[in-house]
Amino acid sequence: MSTPVIQGWCPGALRPMQSGDGLVVRVRPRGGRLTPDQARGIAQLAALHGSGLIDLSNRANLQLRGVTDASHPALIDGLRGFDLIDTDATDEARRNIIVSPFWTEGDGSQEIAAALARALSAQDAPNLPGKFGFSIDLAKSSTIRTASVDIRIEWHLSGWLVRGESFVTGAMVDTPEAAATAALELARWFVDSGGVEGGRGRMVRLWQNEPRNTRHDRLPLRFREGSDAMLGNAPPPKPGTFAQGQLVGFEFGQMQAETLAQLGDLGPLRVTPWRMLLIEGLTEAPQIPGLITRADDPMLRVIACTGAPGCLQAHAATRPLARALAPKLTETLHVSGCAKGCAHPTAAPLTLTATPTGFSLIRNGTASGTPLREGLSADDLTETNILNEFP
């Protein structure tokens, strides 16, 4: 399998990433929420300065595609007018915060997100790697534990718990400011403990590299003598009606600008790490073309990255194949244009990874996992039952 290029950073709005179809400009909604004006504004700007295609990322952001070097400055000016741009690229890269879309008014989630964003933009904030992120989920049963983050702020019986990813204990806090302070203390400890190498690093990797018998002792006192993480863990939700509104999906997490504008007309939108949007307060599924509103829609069983020709690293087109295979599937399939696995970095029941010599089939692994079969063509896959031959 050929080795993909690891960028080690995520695109931003001020630091976009080049892709096969132009610049990718990532917009990070504050508190994971877009007002109707912001949603309509992004839609208008995406159509005016990009291709009009908008991706939802598994970091709960929006990505505007097809932007050019010439159109980028005007796009940034427009986004700034909707309060969607940070002071500079460093602030933007640090403000990597996922908020559970199931927050409720007054539960503290929005206040913690604002306090954390302020703390991360302070002059003395730690210099964190580009992919380092935070999550806020104050529900008793967390739905976002599968999201890739490094520091979590979670509900606890006696307050809120701040803990590192994969740590079993954390520090208890009771105000948004205290939560932000504790999260930054843990982030500083991560940096001081050698968590960053060559500008990259993740909390889980640092933790796994520590000897098992001593790693707990290395934690700052209040993170090791605080409380244990709660076990409540819910699977990622499907489209449908929730107390907070309607959760809707999109084929491959991608929509046209016009769709975003129509959704903005229905109410404020909450971004999610599942490439779906929650429309606040809506009690019925919206009748807008291109939305996935049913929990049993076959397209929810496939995940596929941009693939060729949109991504420069892709060895094949991914989405037409995933679309053709969706009705045949009984479990989740990830189709990846290369071994990097951007669309689904963790293991999937079935993965097809494009290589220069065809697709590799991987069972219960990531896109770079060990294949069971190699050199498969798109025709092999669509015209046979190969995918269901491996229990």
**Binding stretches for ligand SF4 (CB under 6 A):** 4, 305-307, 311, 313-314, 336-338, 340-342
CB of 311 to ligand SF4, least distance (A): 3
Smaller CB separation from ligand SF4, 256 or 306: 306
Q: How far is the CB of 376 from ligand SF4 (least distance, A)?
A: 17
Q: Which is nearer to ligand SF4, 183 or 304 (CB)?
A: 304
Q: Which is nearer to ligand SF4, 184 or 316 (CB)?
A: 316
Q: For residues 277 and 269, give the distance between their C-alpha atoms in angstroms, rounded to a whole number.
A: 6
Q: In the bound complex, what is the minimum distance in angstroms from residue 358's beta carbon to ligand SF4?
A: 15
Of 282 and 343, CB closest to ligand SF4:
343
- Taking the C-alpha atoms of residue 206 and residue 191, their distance in angstroms, rounded to an integer, is 10
| Residue with smaller CB distance to ligand SF4, 112 or 325 | 325
Give the CB-nearest residue to ligand SF4.
Answer: 337
Q: By C-beta, is 264 or 341 nearer to ligand SF4? A: 341
**Closest distance of CB 390 from ligand SF4, Å:** 22
- The nearest distance, CB 41 to ligand SF4, in angstroms, is 27
Cβ distance 42 to 271 under 8 Å? no
Shortest distance in whole angstroms from residue 254 CB to ligand SF4: 12
* Cβ 227 vs Cβ 158: under 8 Å: yes
